[in-house]
Amino acid sequence: MVATAAASAFFPVGAPATSSATSAKASMMPDNLDARGIKPKPASSSGLQVKANAHASPKINGSKVSTETLKGEDTLTSSPAPRTFINQLPDWSMFLAAITTIFLAAEKQWTNLDWKPRRPDMLADPFGIGRFMQDGLIFRQHFAIRSYEIGADRTASIETLMNHLQETALNHVRSAGLLGDGFGATPEMSRRDLIWVVTRMQVLVDRYPAWGDIVEVETWVGASGKNGMRRDWLVRDSQTGEILTRATSVWVMMNKRTRRLSKIPEEVRGEIGPFFIENVAIIEEDNRKLQKLHENTADNVRRGLTPRWSDLDVNQHVNNVKYIGWILESAPGSILESHELSCMTLEYRRECGKDSVLQSMTAVSGGGSAAGGSPESSVECDHLLQLEGGPEVVRGRTEWRPKSANNSRSILEMPAESS
């Protein structure tokens, strides 16, 4: 109807009611009368009648009238008005009414739309790639915890958190304009075939986020000795500001071709040096020596672990996050069911490639039912990931705390499963 009203403003058409009235009126007249109510004369004598009365004065009600007067009256009644620019303009009142109708209909449709999400905290990554804080020295990025990133406890897994840390670090380098051709390498590093490799990492988890939560990850870098770089992270709940995870790591350079460690060239130091700050995420680091395990001293051993093609990164070695999953492969099931990982310290000793075959070993060193203690007590485990019959790949130590009943919050927020 809106389109009809708008069209009629520019293209007036005859009213249907008028046509109906005219037709009805014509049907009521006698057959010998025309539409004007005048009886026509036979066509055979019309020509003679006109010729005979050519010079006679017409009479109306017995009075003679001038022929010029009749011609003028006939012209006024039958001739249409001259077509000019003015009388061809559309009816602007109808045009304005049509425009008003359109806007009112659009406004009604707009207000009927439900623009408010039912759970605003479940928006998918609404904050983009991230932004710099504190004069460009700290980089912050937000992540939404998605359904495929949670584990059996319906909270984010430790691998999910580690992937968030790694993604934020790479976006930090890219946003700073230091990303070269390599995986997180600067332009000067790419010219020298240098890449970053992690040698040590410590992670403290105070609380795991649940599905639908949005977390903000902050990262920054600093110097670590003469030839190392330190990178730290803080993970917070974006709504409350509560600190969920703290992490710190040490990185060194390795030649991509020779696979040997390298010193930091001065050109590279000039690129990354302006971004170094003195700030630590973990004040009291766990500097205890990590124990070496053997098959006869380990409580659980998992053999035959092989990397898949998807486990390799662009530098053609296994991603460091994958090592964490392999380490937990040998953790006792009783601990995984009753406890959650609260602290993890890892030492990366060498890399492994796509053809490597590894074994994972775990020894429970204290607390928990797996070590003969109470299930409500904390548990500490030592780990070793090594090539089968070969050198060590990763040493580690994990601490586990009993799962809190308050963690059922995330379970109650999950939708009911369909039968």
The answer to whether 306 and 357 are in contact (CB under 8 A) is: yes
- Give the active site residue among 343, 352, 381, 383: 352
Ordered DSSP codes for 352-388: --TT--EEEEEEEEESSGGGTS-TTS-EEEEEEEEET
User: Using CA of residue 377, residue 340, residue 396, residue 364, what is the dihedral sign?
Assistant: positive
**Strand-pair partners of 235:** 217, 245
For residues 321 and 235, give the distance between their C-alpha atoms in angstroms, rounded to a whole number. 17
> Which alpha helices (H) appear in 176-237, and where do they start and end?
187-191
Q: Is 55 labeled as catalytic in the residue annotation?
A: no
**What are the CA-CA distances from residue 71 to residues 68, 75, 77 (Å)?**
5, 6, 10
**Which residue type is seen at 81?**
A
Map residue 98 onto helix, strand or coil: helix
CB atoms < 10 A from the CB of 410, how many?
20
For the chain, report the end-to-end CA distance as a whole number of angstroms. Answer: 47
HSE-up of residue 418 (Cα within 13 Å, Cβ side): 0
For residues 401 and 312, give the distance between their C-alpha atoms in angstroms, rounded to a whole number. 32
Q: Is 352 labeled as catalytic in the residue annotation?
A: yes
Greatest C-alpha distance within the chain:
143
**Token pair of 86 as six digits:** 């003015």
> Which alpha helices (H) appear in 195-278, and where do they start and end?
266-272
CB atoms < 10 A from the CB of 380, how many?
16
- Give the active site residue among 317, 343, 381, 383: 317
Q: Is 142 labeled as catalytic in the residue annotation?
A: no
> Which alpha helices (H) appear in 285-363, and where do they start and end?
320-329, 333-338
Q: Known catalytic residues?
A: 315, 317, 352
